[in-house]
Amino acid sequence: MENFEIVGGKKLKGEVIINSSKNAAVAVLLGSLINRGKTTLRNVPQIEEVNRLLEVLESIGVKFEKKGRNIVVIPPKKLDIEKIDRQAAERTRSIILIIGALAGRLKKYSVPQSGGCRLGSRTVRPHLFALENLGIKIRVGPKGFVVESRDLKPGQKIVLYEAGDTATENAILAAAQIPGKTTIKLASANYMVQDVCFFLEKMGVKIKGIGSMTLEIEGVKEINKDIEYEISEDPIEAMFFLSLAATTNSQLLIKRCPIDFLELELLKLEKMGFKYKAGKEYLSRNGKTKLVDIETYPSKLTALEEKIHPAAPSSAGINIDNLPFFVPVATQAKGRTLIHDWVYENRAIYFSELNKLGANVTLLDAHRVYIDGPGKLKGTDMMCPPALRPAAIILVAMLAASGKSTLRNVYSINRGYEKLEDRLGKLGAEIMLIRV
């Protein structure tokens, strides 16, 4: 078990560079199974979620080489899916994407059901309904999903049952391997979905409508070519540092922020009194994603009159994963903030954990909280929640809280953030990772 020991209440200063996206990396890594040739992925985050998927790939016969932040993936001629590392697979929700990735490789196989964050009911039906349109039959067996892909066909039109990110990615990965045109409606336009599309374009798959709710995919029967792809930066990590700057009242320079996926978050923060300056736009090394450098300044915050809530993945609005980062910010804002997390049944319950640090969070129901501020946060000893974003906001609050805090069993954070204690230390945070 690994713990964070923190002495908080310090103003932070310095610059931080946003790393590549966890959610894009895991989808692209599993998507590399489509390619019979060599896939070189650049700028891969060195996080536990990626490590689990590499264990899965290695167990089924995939060879890979790690060269710093780059990974070279070389699939075997035949995948041995029966030897899949079930323990590693069950520790990540993204393993469900292997169904779409293997659509053109295997006729019948079984894969474990996914794990990952515990956030209440997270149905897999949107995946099943989408994939059955492409001729993929899926049933639940005693050890997970039993999949048959004997009669693949392009889906002339797939309407997603739910506009989820991974459901969209699964449909895209499968459709990319089926000759003919597949149209996906009510698709997620989120950043990781766009990364998957850009990646597949490198393989020769033609995709229209990237960044919109309707995608048209011209599939290819077999892909066998050597490609390279650079994963884009993570807007959710950028929001972590924006939340940290606002909550600790610090001046930070946050570099390489994907601005298209942060615009409303920044506007809401601005209307709360958050002061910042965004530099000129430039492109990520993938040549697609727009980035800016953002400098933050000490600010006096005021609660918004309107509720803060996320958008559906298919529409514009606050990203679902960015919503929790408004919670620690709201503890330092004058007035009452209503946060409505309508997507997950249980995530709002974790928000009230900040009360252990002295916050004033009132849980109204499984989806809504009131936060009254500003409040003085004080350090304490807490167990890390088994969910990435709720764990991250507790860390933000601990860095703002005066005195010593201990956050125990931080695997949830290490799933999605790379060497966070080192990066925070360079900003002046007093934080240590302790192995016990």
Write down the mean pLDDT value for the chain: 93
Reported as a pLDDT band with limits 50, 70 and 90, residue 195 is: very high
What's the whole-number mean pLDDT along residues 14-42?
A: 96
Q: What pLDDT score does 50 carry?
A: 93
pLDDT of residue 316: 67
Lowest-pLDDT range, 75-89, 270-284, 360-374? 75-89
pLDDT at 291 over 50: yes
**Which superfamily, per CATH, for 2-19+233-435?**
Enolpyruvate transferase domain (3.65.10.10)
pLDDT number for residue 145: 86
One fold for 2-19+233-435 and 22-230:
yes
Which of the four pLDDT bands, split at 50, 70 and 90, describes residue 315? low
Question: Between 60 and 153, whose confidence is greater?
Answer: 60
Q: How would residue 126 be classed by pLDDT, with cut points 50, 70 and 90?
A: confident
pLDDT at 314: 55
Is it the case that residue 122 has pLDDT exceeding 60?
Answer: no
pLDDT at residue 52 greater than cutoff 90: yes
Domain limits of the chain? 2-19+233-435, 22-230
Q: Residue 313 pLDDT more than 70?
A: no
The predicted model gives 118-141 an average pLDDT of 77
pLDDT at 123: 61
Kindly report, residue by residue over 150-178, the tens digit of the pLDDT: 888 887 899 999 888 999 999 999 999 99
> Is the pLDDT score of 116 beyond 70?
no
Q: Is the pLDDT of residue 410 over 80?
A: yes
Q: Over the stretch 324-349, which tens digit does the pLDDT of each residue have?
A: 999 999 999 999 999 999 988 789 99
Kindly report, residue by residue over 226-243, the tens digit of the pLDDT. Answer: 999 999 999 999 999 999
Q: What is the pLDDT of residue 247?
A: 98
User: Per-residue pLDDT averaged across 124-137, rounded?
Assistant: 89
Task: Reply yes or no on whether the pLDDT at 119 is more than 70.
Answer: no
- Using the predicted structure, report yes or no on whether residue 203 has a pLDDT greater than 70: yes
3-state secondary structure the chain: CEEEEEEECCCCEEEEECCECHHHHHHHHHHHHHECCCEEEECCCCCHHHHHHHHHHHHCCCEEEEECCEEEEECCCCCCHHHCCHHHHCCCHHHHHHHHHCCCCCCEEEECCCCCCCCCCCCCHHHHHHHHCCCCEEEEECCEEEEECCCCCCCCCEECCCCCHHHHHHHHHHHCCCCEEEEEECCCCCHHHHHHHHHHHHCCCEEECCCCCEEEEEECCCECCCEEEECCECHHHHHHHHHHHHHHCCEEEEEEEEHHHCHHHHHHHHHCCCEEEECCCEECCCCCCEEEEEEEECCCCECCCCCECCCCCCCCCCCCCCHHHHHHHHHCCEEEEEEECCCCCCHHHHHHHHHHHCCEEEECCCCEEEEEECCCCECCEEECCCCHHHHHHHHHHHHHCEEEEEEECCHHHHCCCCCHHHHHHCCCCEEEEEEC
Please tell me the pTM assigned to this model: 0.94
pLDDT higher than 80, residue 290? yes
Report the pLDDT averaged over residues 26-37: 95
Does the domain spanning 22-230 belong to CATH 3.65.10.10?
Answer: yes
pLDDT grade for 141, boundaries at 50, 70 and 90: confident
Task: Note the pLDDT of residue 266.
Answer: 97
> Taking residues 422-429, what's their average pLDDT?
97
